Amino acid sequence: MRFDVLRVYTQKPAGIPAGFFYKEIIVAQLQQLFDYTGHLPECPTWSEDEQALYWADILEREIHRYHIASGEHQVVRFPEEVGCFALREQGGFIVAMRSAIWLSEPDGTLVQKVCDNPSNPRLARFNDGGTDRDGRFYAGTFWSPDDYNGALLVRVDNQLRTSVIQCDIRGANGLAFSADRKWMYTSDTPNAVIYRTPLDAQGEPGHREVFRCFNAGEGIPDGAAMDEEGCYWSAMYNGWRIARFSPEGEQLAEFRLPVRCPTMVCFGGQDMKTLFITTTRENMRPEEIAAYPLSGAIFTLPVDVAGMKKPPFRSR
């Protein structure tokens, strides 16, 4: 199923005088990946070697794989909610479930516990995560009571050592790393803010700073990805859209969607110019699902700039 969607550019081209508002609207083609709707699809991850898309359905406790050329769809089931995962260099996954982070075989067999959830697992499950340029794995938690900033961000290094990188978060999301290796981006979805954190030459984080905040009606920043030009692409949950931001935090473009709640984006395809978009139907009333039956679907969108590749998790 294909849709013509609005692709709205708000960056001023050269020659437009200061003080003039500029908006260019182009029709872009959004396509459903295949006939599938999930409960809470998240963490889309492109495998360049396999030319396949992986993603988690958190609440269904699953990791999915879809091979683009053949249309083969596989589902791997786990004993707990799968907040996020990364493909391992040796094969299989590193997977952050509610109570712990594990290494697993490709079929989901758990082979080694890396660490327990350092949050209270009854109140905070793992959520968004991924790898940095050195193949280290990051996983953030989501504080379910929503009464204070009780979540955090954990890193697993290449020796399987675990450390808490950041705290004072209500719902960790939006992890992405800049092409120049100088910045880590994260979002705190319930608090409607995107942060960026400077990284030193070893990839160690400094003091985070606010990158952009959002007002009511704009949507709130969920999962994200970076492109090769240093721009940050955010799934705007409750916002019906994907937004692209410059390294200075200016919105350059947005892509309107036929569903309310996108959850995350990643780049893929042979040229890394396909944007994969996961969406959800979690907590939606039957009337909304009936009105917007593609809530929970995965979409693809051709874009003009290549995205950053996600390295596999590397352990020694």
Active-site amino acid positions = 222
CA angle 307, 309, 314 (to 5 degrees): 160
State the Cα torsion 82-88-152-208 to the nearest 10°.
Answer: -140
The tokens for 196 are 């960026």
Beta strands in 33-72 (DSSP E): 41-47, 52-57, 62-67
The residues that bridge with 34 in the sheet, in sequence order, are none
CA gap 76, 212 in Å, rounded: 36
- DSSP per residue, 230-266: S-EEEEEETTTEEEEE-TTS-EEEEEE-SSS-EEEEE
Check: CB of residue 194 under 8 Å from CB of residue 212. yes
Q: Could you tell me the two tokens for 303?
A: 């874009």
Residues 6+ apart with CB under 8 A from 82: 43, 56, 57, 58, 61, 62, 63, 95, 96, 97
- The amino acid that residue 288 corresponds to is E
Q: 201: which 2 tokens?
A: 């030459």
Extract the tokens encoding 120.
Answer: 């209270």
Bridge partners, residue 65, by sequence: 54, 74
Residue 232 and residue 248: Cα distance in Å, rounded?
10
